[in-house]
Amino acid sequence: MTVTDPTGEDSYRTSAQASTMYSDSNHPKRGRRNRSTELQSLLDEASKYNSHYEYDMPRGFLRDRSVKEDIRQEEIERPRESFVPRKKSKSSRSNKNDANYKTKRDSLTETSGGSVKSLGSQKRSRKARSGKRNANNPQNGIGALTPMTLSSQDVEGSDATATYLDDSRVRNQEKQTGEKSTFANWSAIAGNVQFDILDLEYVRSHSLFEGTPTSSTVLTTRRREKSPQVVTVKLQSVLFENYQEEYDICFTRDLNIYNPMSEIGKIVEYMAAIFLPSYYAAKVQNEVIPFMNKAFDEENIQSFVQLVERYNQIVLSIKRQEIVDHLSTVKRIPTIFIHDFLHIVYTRSIFPQYRRLRQYEAFSNYVYGELLPGFLTEAFSKCQLNPNKIFMDLGSGVGNCVVQAALECGCNLSFGCEIMPNASDLSEAQYGELIQRCKLFGLKLPSIEYSLRQSFIGNKRVDELIPVCDVLLINNFLFDSKMNLQVEKLIQNAKVGCKIITLKNLRASGYTINFYNLDSVLNRLRVERFDLKEDSVSWTHSGGEYYISTVMETMDESLFDPSLRQRSTRKPTRYTR
């Protein structure tokens, strides 16, 4: 990643301005006035991004001149006839997925001996919005809403993912080589849930489901009213014979926000890979999943509905005791299943009221933004979060990080604190839906606790948990200097070994030890910087950086070595006219 330094764009501007000053020296009348203006401009630019003056910004906001130069050079070298106006698509996202759609279309044609007809441009546009994943486009976290670009790191990690697939029951699923496509993105996240998440005791003691989770049709009411082509289908629960969830099947509407067909396909694949006994899992994988993929690709509603009914018949033919006995042998649950499961919870609880999250003061400490599941999985792994540890999220929003830490890592306690009323309301809604869905899928729900409609500053419960917290998450991306000072005071009592995840360094650039901060916890932090991949946060597609700071018993030795700080620690002089 690029770091802004004096040799970049600012130095270029400096040399240009200096040459202007020199040329003006030949004109005494205007030279004196221009030299004064140019000097003031140079001095302002020199201190613009210095941390001492509180202008330090995350690198996601800083311009990358080299990238722009490359783009400009490509435009110069591109032939003139290539600049042909292109008809604007109905969806801004469809163009991003055209290449993936073409790959999938070509592969379908090859596997069927050319019997599949080429789809039209209108169908391609709808297909690009469908939310289904192609094997050549692994995505970070829940990719149904945000398209992602394949990075070099994803390519490098593909071999490890393939090894994982060969090592589990998912090996019965066709591996993603580009010739086949599936609803679940098996190659996105490698790894397993870190604790025994299946609640066999609850499954054995409850043969009927008594909960009331929010139905999928709540999200498609308007779609059903406006489109006569909509067909409502019921998907049978594997664990409870008396429960079926309704879905509205329709390929003609914009599926950018919510795609019920993609969700059905994922659930069917996860049930076959994890929940169904081997014999019945093979039947679903052979008789349902390949043809459901084809029906989805061809947008064939009738065929898709028939395949859902066929899946229901297979599930209802299984004796419940066989399912329970099989689940007792399951030892590993893929992490990607948790991501998609939490996405189901999120769509039911947050989507209907998402406009409430827009009610905040722009560029304040209370701006709402979400950290996406793929990034959280990576950060949790680096912090070695496990069932024996306590996780805290200060500024937890709607609770996404809290529930993911609980289900993915099985924390001893997953705690969240949120001050904004609307986000607090949605946290409660999501937690209620999570309880219902965990029972429906037979999953354990580890301990979760919230402190809602309260600040984490001066919060009695937060002060009690900080000394025993193992992993602390603080999204300080837009915190001002006053809030950062409060955070510093708050973590003063953090225990040795506590890991703090932040998007900006808790220690400002050029930080030094002096007489006034000898006892500060910042002196005992070992700070590690990591690259933030693209599509890791909700407010920008671009990557950036994040930090994991570990509280140590003694002072960080890097503070005594200026060469390790990478910047001069001398406070720059502020010149005036």
Binding-site annotation, residues for S-adenosyl-L-methionine: 368-371, 391-400, 418, 455-456
Q: Which pair of structure tokens corresponds to residue 529?
A: 């910087």
* Closest alpha carbon to 495 in 558, 550, 571: 550
With residues binned 3-state (H G I as helix, E B as strand, rest as coil), the percentages for the chain, rounded to 5, are 50, 10, 40
Sequence-distant (≥ 6) Cβ neighbours of residue 99 within 8 angstroms:
none
Tell me if 341 sits within 8 A of 406, measured CB to CB: no
Please give the distance of CA 492 from its chain centroid, rounded to a whole number: 30
E strand segments, 307-376? none
CA dist., res. 35 & res. 19, Å (int): 11
Residue 394: phi and psi, rounded to 5, are -95, 110
Look up residue 192 and give its amino acid. Answer: N
Tell me if 555 sits within 8 A of 513, measured CB to CB: yes
Q: Which pair of structure tokens corresponds to residue 459?
A: 């919060």
List alpha helices for 350-476, DSSP H: 373-382, 400-409, 421-440, 460-465
Q: Which pair of structure tokens corresponds to residue 73?
A: 């050079």
What is the SS3 assignment for 246?
strand
What is the SS3 assignment for 267?
helix
Q: Within 10 Å of residue 184's Cβ, how many Cβ atoms? A: 23
CA dist., res. 413 & res. 406, Å (int): 7
Tell me if 512 sits within 8 A of 559, measured CB to CB: yes
CA dist., res. 423 & res. 418, Å (int): 7
Long-range contacts of 226-235 (CB under 8 A, 24+ apart): 226/253, 227/252, 227/253, 229/301, 231/301, 231/305, 233/264, 233/305, 233/308, 233/309, 234/308, 234/312, 235/264, 235/267, 235/308, 235/311, 235/312
Tell me if 273 sits within 8 A of 172, measured CB to CB: yes
Long-range contacts of 154-162 (CB under 8 A, 24+ apart): 157/190, 158/187, 160/190, 161/186, 161/187, 161/190, 162/187
* Closest alpha carbon to 436 in 271, 207, 212: 212
CA dist., res. 462 & res. 491, Å (int): 10
CA dist., res. 265 & res. 183, Å (int): 6
Annotated binding site: 368-371, 391-400, 418, 455-456
Q: What region, left, alpha or beta, does residue 199 occupy, with left being phi > 0 and alpha being psi -120 to 50 degrees?
A: beta
